[in-house]
Structure 1
Amino acid sequence: MLRPSRISLNAIRVFVLVAEHGSLKRAAEILHVTPGAVSRQISSLEDMMGVRLFRRSNNSLHLSETGEAFFQQVRPSIHSLHRAIELATGESRAVNVQAPTTMASRWLIPALVDFKKRWPDIKVSISTHDSIGLRDAQPADLYIAYSPASDPLPGGDILIEDRCRPYLAPQLLSQIVDPSDLSSIPALQSTGSNWDWTAWLQHTETPDIALRFDNAFDLDDVAIRAAIAGMGMVLAPKFIIHDDVDAGRLCALPQSPEVLLGYYSLHMPEILNADAKTFIRWLKDSV
């Protein structure tokens, strides 16, 4: 029986890189070796373990069922090992942050101006996604995830509460005879099932109102821009659109209450490098 101690840790590190990027070539570029050297490491690991970790066909590479299970088990340990080495050696590196697209583009990225003034030598890389919950496709040091208030995501620190109300362009509001008649105001859809509008109506005790959705968008940010253009009212938290409110491009629908619809939560590994810790302290102080 093969003892785990005989398995090459470097081969496992190479395997994790290939699995994360789905490419021998990309893993080779990161490791500064040839794709052939990466391929040999993978083949050696498979031979030592006696299993096939990848399925190969037509120049494509996909994890096998066994490979996927192995990847999910070893990936967190490999990343923790890297962070432990960086922490012990004091090595500085970029802080990689994953965040929802609208939150990143309309709040986090503008706020980074302050961070860069304070710590100009720390490079921050941001990747975005449009999904609810944690997204594992792209490894990062810190994850900002969104979850509905009805189904909060466990294991994270709440960073910002998503308290929403309808906003619209002042020129559109001036054309509305009765702002309390929600069914007369075009509403903008930015979620597939309109769960946000449904939850808002339920919390305001008006669940039977039939909103008129003339336009639908796949991103909150796009729906906000449509609201600025006067196309309808959008459901949004103040921290996301405060610049547009201050500039007079948007205003709150009169007498409409704020409702807690969800949470932006911060998720991080147990071991962090010094730069990531600095970023987290700044992030929490900025909200």
Structure 2
Amino acid sequence: MLHPSRISLNATRVFVLVAEHGSLKRAAEILHVTPGAVSRQISNLEDMMGVRLFRRSNNSLHLTETGESFFQQVRPSVHSLHRAIELATGESRAVNVQAPTTMASRWLIPAWVDFKKRWPDIKVSISTHDSIGLLDAQPADLHIAYSPASDPLPGGDILIEDRCRPYLAPQLLSQIVDPSNLSSVPALQSTGSNWDWTAWLQHTETPDIALRFDNAFDLDDVAIRAAIAGMGMVLAPKFIIHDDVDAGRLCELPQSPEVLLGYYSLHVPEILNADAKTFIRWLKDSV
């Protein structure tokens, strides 16, 4: 194995790109070279390090245990290097934002219109996910992450508190004889374990009530649309569904308290370009 100072930085950058995309062909397209050239860089890096970084079989590529460990350790440094070069050269590129799907579609993107009016020359790319916590699979200039109030993420700035109560369609509410009897109101499930409904019931000192879950969904946004269609009540924060409330598509369940269930927090790397800093200032002001 060569001394670490003699390991090729360019080959390491190619390795990170291949590992992120899981494809020699895709990495070659991004680098504007041939797949063979990318493959040679990977082979040279493995020879220099004296380890196998990828398993190759049936035209597929998978990180070895050593490769995965190396990838997790070197990837942040490679992206920090890229950001430092962009800052030094003044190179303009899209600000990459990662955010939970429902929060992005129902709040961030509608608010983004204002940002585009004020800074039309700054490009923003938004990728979404449905996970709790930080998602490290894709690089981003800033991450908006969700975490339950019982287990908040460290190291970020809280953007928005997730204060929820049940909402339902007015026509469904009109059909319910006693809305205070929660077990008589169909509830909509939008998390795998129903942790949100469980936490809400515990905070409202009604943990023993057995809710009736007639329908289950894998996204908050889909559950909200089901509530608008009159299929049941959904737990949601006001900032996510205020347009639907204002338009009369949803209303609060009477006498239902608002409960803090979680946080949307902002996480950013140490090095940011000027456009990313502008977007973050706007984001905090918008909140």
Q: CA deviation at 1:179?
A: 1.2
Gap regions ≥5 residues in structure 1: none
Partner of 2:211: 211
CA distance, structure 2, for counterparts of residue 4 and residue 199 of structure 1: 50
Check conservation: 1:190, 1:220, Cα contact below 8 A.
yes
Question: Which piece of structure 1 moves more, 121-130 or 54-63?
Answer: 121-130
Instruction: Please say if 1:285 is aligned against 2:251.
Output: no
Q: CA deviation at 1:238?
A: 0.3
Q: CA deviation at 1:90?
A: 1.6
CA distance, structure 1, for counterparts of residue 167 and residue 58 of structure 2: 51
CA distance, structure 1, for counterparts of residue 18 and residue 274 of structure 2: 27
SS of match in other structure, 2:137 = coil
CA distance, structure 1, for counterparts of residue 56 and residue 154 of structure 2: 36
Q: CA deviation at 1:8?
A: 0.7
CA distance, structure 2, for counterparts of residue 33 and residue 2 of structure 1: 26
Partner of 1:69: 69
CA distance, structure 2, for counterparts of residue 139 and residue 58 of structure 1: 28
SS of match in other structure, 1:38 = helix
CA distance, structure 2, for counterparts of residue 5 and residue 210 of structure 1: 63
CA distance, structure 1, for counterparts of residue 180 and residue 187 of structure 2: 13
Check conservation: 1:80, 1:271, Cα contact below 8 A.
yes
Check conservation: 1:92, 1:274, Cα contact below 8 A.
no
CA distance, structure 2, for counterparts of residue 140 and residue 56 of structure 1: 28
CA distance, structure 1, for counterparts of residue 68 and residue 227 of structure 2: 43
Q: CA deviation at 1:2?
A: 2.4
Q: CA deviation at 1:33?
A: 0.9
Check conservation: 1:134, 1:143, Cα contact below 8 A.
yes
1:173-231 residue CA offsets vs partner (Å, 9 max, x unmatched): 11111111111100000001100000000001111111110111110000000000001
Question: Structure 1 vs Structure 2: percent identity of aligned residues?
Answer: 95
SS of match in other structure, 2:266 = strand
Q: How many residues align?
A: 287
Superposition RMSD in Å: 0.8
Q: CA deviation at 1:40?
A: 0.6
Check conservation: 1:161, 1:260, Cα contact below 8 A.
yes
Q: CA deviation at 1:124?
A: 0.9
Equivalent residues in 2 for 1:1-287 (5 A)?
2-287=2-287
1:42-64 residue CA offsets vs partner (Å, 9 max, x unmatched): 00000011100000000000000
Check conservation: 1:21, 1:27, Cα contact below 8 A.
yes
CA distance, structure 1, for counterparts of residue 10 and residue 258 of structure 2: 52
Gap regions ≥5 residues in structure 2: none
Q: TM-score, normalised by structure 1?
A: 0.99
CA distance, structure 2, for counterparts of residue 37 and residue 106 of structure 1: 44
Check conservation: 1:94, 1:124, Cα contact below 8 A.
yes
CA distance, structure 2, for counterparts of residue 176 and residue 30 of structure 1: 57
Q: TM-score, normalised by structure 2?
A: 0.99
